[in-house]
Chains A and B, each alone.
Chain A
Amino acid sequence: MATLEDLSKAVINGNVAKAKKLTQELVDAGVAPLDIINQGLIAGMNVVGVRFKNGEMFVPEVMVAAKAMSQGIEMVKPLIAETDMPSEGKVLLGTVKGDLHDIGKNLVGIMLESRGFTVIDIGIDKSPEDFVNAIKEHQPDIMGMSALLTTTMLHMKDTIELMKEEGLGHVKAIVGGAPISQDFADEVGADGYAPDAASAVDLCKSLLSK
């Protein structure tokens, strides 16, 4: 019979078909849906996160593992009341105005979701107004901005300033992307910066535990 450990392994190995099959078997066997998520799917992804951070696994492997996990979650989700869905916190993500790059942002989203965060992804080319409106609508704990270009990263400052003007200063602002550094993050008044997707998860956890 399928075990939660088997399911974790299927996620770690990035075997999407097997993860779906095992999830169905566990559901049919009457295992509690929350256990399937926490002790099977997310447990596997936690291992992936640690290995990614240690340089033992790489982005393509993480992406496929995340796909296995999220397809499993999609199957179990209808069986759980929405309020019972576990969440570490809500994070809103977007790429700044004038910038169409989203691979890094998507990866951060996947890593956050896989570690139990609820992620709202508003997409690419988002102006400060777009960010502020989305924050008002979704009420996240954290908002993250992504930029790949040195020309577009300057919009991060505008967004953070507009957030404060609109009284949304309680939402933590984090920034990331290839040209971003800790110095730049400090300069634009962000609450945090992470150099890669795995560190972004740690950053969000530490910001919310404060």
Chain B
Amino acid sequence: METFNTTRSNFTRASFEVNQTIFWQMLSDDQCEEIFMTVQELLERTGVEILNEEAREIFEKAGCWVDGTRVRIPSPLTEWAARTAPSRVTLCDRNGKRALRVETTYSYFGPGQGNSFVLDPHTGERRKPVKDDVAATAVVCDALKNIDFVLSNGYPTDVKEAAADLHVFEALVANTTKPIIQYIPSVKHAQAILDMAVAVAGSLRELQKNPFFVYLIDADGTLVHSDETLAKVIFAAKNGIPFIYHTKLVLGETAPVTPAGTLVVALADVLVGVLLSQLVRQGTPVIAGGIFTVRDEENNMLPWGAPEVSLVGTGMSNLLRYLRIPSFGFAGASDSKISDAQMGLEEAFSMLHMGLSGTNLIQGCGLLESGLTGSLVMLVIGDEIIGMIRKIIKGIEVNEERLARGVIDAVQPGGTYLGEEHTLKYFRKEFWWPTLMNRNRIKDWTEAGSKSLGQRATEKTQSILQTHQPEKLSDDVLAKLREIIEKAEAAL
């Protein structure tokens, strides 16, 4: 023990400032304030198009100026919305256990959605997704330590198209206990999914107390809010279910070419959703965010691996953090078509930045081909990347014992720390332990088949799919879910 004790000082430092974690605050408070003031001016002067009648009435009653479908929002109301919206939302697992603290700068990662294709995890073939792919996504996410929540990772094409989102929800909730982010195309879908969630949670009250899913509502972009979009917001608020209000902007096309100008439009748009939800039911949990990209003029494409995606996404997260509104962002996607170096580079680069910026919920891990194709193998690699990112984000702990004064003195110059109890105590937790990255000597690596990262990740994905057993839902609940879907399919 003599080498382990450090010489403890009898002196205590006053006002010792600690950076326990790294937080990349790209925009200063002054810059955030400047953008927020501009947003307020924009909403008051230019206003937004509100195409939902009920929403217009709510806005008018609250003091907005309504001319036809144009709604101009007085600045104090915008400020009130930002202040009133909850600063935190706790997402629970399927059993109602508190799971994700969606607040301050806690970051959580998960797959994406909206992709029209998947890479088959067994054959590598690029094909249309089916319901089993959504179930497989849930199983893989359930098994991966660093994946915190689930999304569909593909729109199933082997079920009735109008009810596809209900099948997505069923496939996800039946195959993982992790929180779900569920896209809703309409209020009817929102109602059916709510019914399904209530069947799982036991009652609406239980679900509101310990929500295990959030609605994903896509804003329409560029200061227009459609009838259906706002109907969904009103529905979520009335039922007290947390929702994400999510905008998608292309710099120079649907938003100003400058990142600052794009952030003004983005923040104005998400605050319209936030304001409406708070006017419907004060305290409605709402998470705001956006996905931003540039136009690739050479290919006439919208890239998702571009540095601007992370740059503007970080700006949006900084703004929402400034306003104390939980944030939703995008990272972990690539413009590559296959599992290659470009894929790994764009995936890691974007996830590191969104993680460092403290974005709360980060979707998009495992999307290839500019978001068109989902890959479970890429998701499995993403899990390893997140592990590395979390190691960086944790930073360096500085305290008496970790400063190791006593051990340094005991070992003496030129000595080794290998046999010290200090090393024994900390080496497992101070080091990051890879699960996919290969550090074999070349002889061992060659003997194991000279496998690339892609091959190893493919094998791990297949092994998870063959062996992982997520906690099951009861037959009774599964039957109820089937019943709700069948009823909804007949009506949709």
Contacts and interface: CB of A to CB of B under 8 A. Distances in A.
Interface stretch (A1-9, A56-64, A89-97): A56-64
Contact of B419 (A17, A67, A181, A195): A67
Interface string A28-70: 0000000000000000000000000000001111011011000
Q: How large is the interface on A (under 10, 10 to 19, 20 to 34, 35 or more residues)?
A: 10 to 19
A59 B424 contact: no
B443 interface: yes
Contacts, number: 32
Interface centre among B419, B420, B423, B441 (most CB of A within 10 A): B419
B441 A60 contact: no
A60 B1 contact: no
Given A181-B443, A195-B443, A14 B416 contact: no
Given A14-B421, A58-B427, A195 B416 contact: no
Contacts of A106: 416
A180 to B, nearest CB: 11
Interface string B406-424: 0000000000101111011
A154 B420 CA distance: 33
Contacts of A63: 418-419, 423
Given A17-B1, A181-B443, A60 B416 contact: no
Given A66-B419, A103-B416, A106-B416, A60 B424 contact: yes
A64 B443 contact: no
Contacts of B420: 60, 64
Given A58-B427, A60-B427, A106-B416, A16 B421 contact: yes
Given A103-B416, A106-B416, A64 B424 contact: yes
Contacts of A181: 443
Nearest to A196: B441
Contacts of A195: 441, 443
B424 A61 contact: yes
A14 B424 contact: yes
Interface string B1-27: 100000000000000000000000000
B421 A64 contact: yes
Nearest to A63: B419
A195 B442 CA distance: 12
Contacts of B1: 16-17
Interface in B384-443: 416, 418-421, 423-424, 427-428, 441, 443
B172 to A, nearest CB: 36
Interface in B123-141: none
A181 B444 CA distance: 12
Contacts of A59: 418
A64 B423 CA distance: 9
B421 A103 contact: no
Interface in A73-122: 103, 106-107
Q: Which 8 A-B pairs have the closest CB atoms?
A: A63-B419, A60-B423, A64-B424, A63-B418, A60-B424, A60-B427, A103-B416, A60-B418
Given A63-B419, A107-B418, 15 more contacts: A14-B421, A14-B424, A17-B1, A58-B428, A60-B420, A60-B427, A63-B418, A63-B423, A64-B421, A64-B423, A66-B419, A67-B419, A103-B418, A106-B416, A195-B443
